[in-house]
């Protein structure tokens, strides 16, 4: 199944044209790596959630938020 998914580039260097073409419901990312994409995503009406991840101590709050987001 993984092979069938489109490659969007590397973690901090995303192919935005490809990503926008997928018309995602929401995009999740990290502030320190993906903030530069936020305005382009918002301009295309794509909800964006950026986490300020600073190590393992942030796992529980991040996963709790994701659980609430996805029900």
Segment 12-48, tens digit of pLDDT: 899 999 999 999 999 999 999 999 999 999 999 999 9
CA angle 51, 25, 10 (to 5 degrees): 55
What's the predicted TM-score (pTM) here?
0.80
Tally of structural domains, the chain: 1
**Domain that residue 66 falls in:** 2-70
- In this prediction, residue 68 has a pLDDT band, given cuts at 50, 70 and 90, of very high
| In contact, 48 and 38? CB cutoff 8 Å | yes
How high is the pLDDT of residue 38? Answer: 94
Q: What is the pLDDT of residue 11?
A: 83
Please tell me the distance from the alpha carbon of residue 50 to that of residue 28, in angstroms, as a whole number: 6
């Amino acid at each position: 199944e993984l092979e069938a998914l489109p490659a969007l580039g590397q973690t901090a260097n995303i192919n935005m044209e490809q990503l926008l073409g997928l018309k995602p419901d929401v995009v999740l990312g990290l502030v320190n790596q993906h903030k530069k994409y936020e305005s382009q995503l918002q301009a295309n009406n794509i909800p964006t959630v950026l986490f300020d991840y600073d190590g393992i101590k942030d796992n529980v709050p991040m996963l709790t938020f994701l659980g609430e987001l996805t029900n």
